[in-house]
Amino acid sequence: MRKILFATLLLSSLVPAQEPTRVGVSVTQKKLTLSEALETALKGNLEIEIERTSVASAQLAVKAAQGAYDGLFRWLPSIDSRTTPTPSILLGAGGKLEETALVQNFSYQQKLPWHGAAFYAGFDNSRQTTTNPFTGLTPYYSSRMSLQFSQPLLRGWKTDSYRTELKLRSKNTQISLLDLELKAIDVVARVEQSYWNLVAARQDVQVQGDGVKLAQEQLDRTRRMIASGTLASVEIAAAEAELERRKDNHLSSIGVLAEAENAFKLLLSAHRSEEIWTDAIIPLEERTVDFASSDDLQQAVAAAMDKRAELRQLAMRKQNNDVQKDLATDQLKPQMNLVASYSAAGLSGTQSDIVNPFTQSSIATLQRINQLSALQGIAPLPPASGGGIPLAFLGGYPTSISNLFHGGFPTLQAGVSFDWTTRNRAAEAGLGQAVVGERRLKLERDRLEQAIAAQVRNAMQSLTTSRQRILAAEASEHAAKEKLESEIRLFQSGESTNFLVLTRQNEFSDSRRRVVVARLDFNKAVSRLRQSIGTTLEAHNLHVQ
């Protein structure tokens, strides 16, 4: 009977345990060093990519602000045909005045980036025909060129809304770059800590698996001793129960490993369809980080105040507030502008053959006088005329352009415009808001510096504590191993119990797990200290672009 029981127990112990599977993970492996993982994250992490779009948006906002200084070219072609009833025979025969105008006007205006100056140039052209008998040219061409320049002398000289907006958006671009750097630091720190979480999870699976093996070995010893009659059969229940409990812990650790691996993949991949999601990630670095830290707290805090991107970002926000304060101060001044303009005109056309009413009424009399004068041998009188047309005006459109530049018809104008707002409460409120914003930023900086100092203190304390815990845990592991080996020898010689052996195994497994946790906490403390000082990217020789 004992031989049958022993054979049955031996066969059951030889049946291999089924390897638990992880959902979505194939047999392929992807081995990664920490530096490879960090580089992969910087290239593919979606949070960083999203932050890069914010930088691109800020850069485009700067370009949009620069658009305020883009010149505006305008072309205004038009045709105008008018027939106007008139009761005066001096304006049109038959009570009707007919006029046609073909217009081609061009203009260009631009704000200049220097002290709020603005420039305008216009070039107007028209071809007009008319039945007005008192117009000496029909059709006639008129051209006009005008240049205008305005320059603020008080308000708008130092700054204005356009220059302020450009400065603000330029600073916002730098703030967006710091946001990108902060996001990269955050992601790198999380990848680093997730990497060590994965290392610890795999080590914990190994520890739990070794615990299962130890329980199986103790169960086998118990079966052999029961089969040999040196141990009561009731002891088999305790060994089997402990084995199943440890299997349960082992399966739980595999679930924790799966979660740690998925969290790690989430930080590295840019899309859920990437191959990394089907690979088993094998960290190649299972070491304690080689990190030599200074115990000088003040030196570490001073380094953090110098390197933390959040403080640089706050300094840029203060510069933005100073820009807004300058604008509000400028708006308190009166508006006084220097305005200067120059214009020139040109004219040309074909002499009109329309007879005016005064000339028409004297034609018969003039003809009669000239007939009588001819009989008496007297020279005829010249036809009546309203006045001659200057020869310089006779010609087509090129003549009008020539008269524009060489005809001597310039107009010069210069003056000053002055506007004064009696109370100017809007500007006063804007300046008050800038002053309040300046004080708020000062308070935020004090709060941030205090928080950074606390982060450095906590990180240094965690680093010191975890380093000491590693030494204690390793010593505990060594002692627990010796106790286990001793207890097994006593058990085999009949001087100990199954309960004590299993207890020593649990103590040994627990000591090994505490070593894993202590090393994990140390590596994560190194990561937090680097992040609190602001040297995360520098420590890994990484750059964000």
Tokens of 341: 């303009």
Beta partners for residue 281, in sequence order: 30
Alpha-carbon span 181 to 309, nearest angstrom: 8
Alpha-carbon span 373 to 370, nearest angstrom: 5
Q: Are 196 and 523 in contact (CB under 8 A)?
A: yes
Alpha-carbon span 175 to 185, nearest angstrom: 15
Length of the chain: 545
CA 210: distance to chain centroid? 50
Instruction: Kindly provide the residue ranges of all beta strands, DSSP E only, lying in 182-319, ordered along the sequence.
Output: 280-283
Could you give phi then psi for residue 487, rounded to 5 degrees?
A: -65, -35
Prior bond of 139 cis (ω within 30°): yes
DSSP 8-state secondary structure symbol assigned to residue 384: P
As a CATH number, domain 2-17+41-62+163-329+427-539 is 1.20.1600.10
pLDDT, one tens digit for every residue, the chain (545 residues)? 344 333 433 433 333 344 456 787 878 888 899 999 999 888 888 888 999 999 999 999 999 999 999 999 999 999 999 888 887 766 766 778 888 999 999 999 999 989 999 999 999 999 999 888 778 788 989 999 999 999 999 998 999 999 999 999 999 999 999 999 999 999 999 999 999 999 999 999 999 999 999 999 989 988 998 888 888 888 889 889 999 999 999 999 999 999 999 999 999 888 888 888 888 889 988 777 777 666 788 999 999 999 999 999 999 999 999 999 999 999 999 989 999 999 999 888 888 767 666 565 566 677 778 787 887 778 887 765 555 678 878 888 888 888 888 877 889 999 999 988 888 898 899 999 999 999 999 999 999 999 999 999 999 999 889 989 999 999 999 999 999 999 999 988 888 888 899 999 999 999 999 999 999 999 999 999 999 999 999 888 888 77
Q: Per residue, what are the HEC states of 174-215?
A: HHHHHHHHHHHHHHHHHHHHHHHHHHHHHHHHHHHHHHHHHH
Between helices 46-66 and 161-228, what is the axis angle to 10°? 180
Q: Report which secondary-structure segment, H or E, holds 346.
A: strand 335-351
**CA separation, residue 183 to residues 37, 41, 54, 180 (Å):** 16, 12, 12, 5
Alpha-carbon span 110 to 129, nearest angstrom: 35
Instruction: Kindly provide the residue ranges of all beta strands, DSSP E only, lying in 49-194, ordered along the sequence.
Output: 72-85, 96-111, 118-130, 137-152
Alpha-carbon span 437 to 439, nearest angstrom: 5
Q: Report which secondary-structure segment, H or E, holds 483.
A: helix 425-492
User: Cα 198–178–172 angle (5° rounding)?
Assistant: 145
User: Cα 537–178–302 angle (5° rounding)?
Assistant: 65
Q: Which sequence spans correspond to the domains of the chain?
A: 2-17+41-62+163-329+427-539, 72-152+335-419
pTM for the structure as a whole: 0.78
Alpha-carbon span 347 to 393, nearest angstrom: 6
* The dihedral formed by the CA atoms of 359, 360, 365 and 366, expressed in degrees to the nearest 10: 50
Prior bond of 87 cis (ω within 30°): no
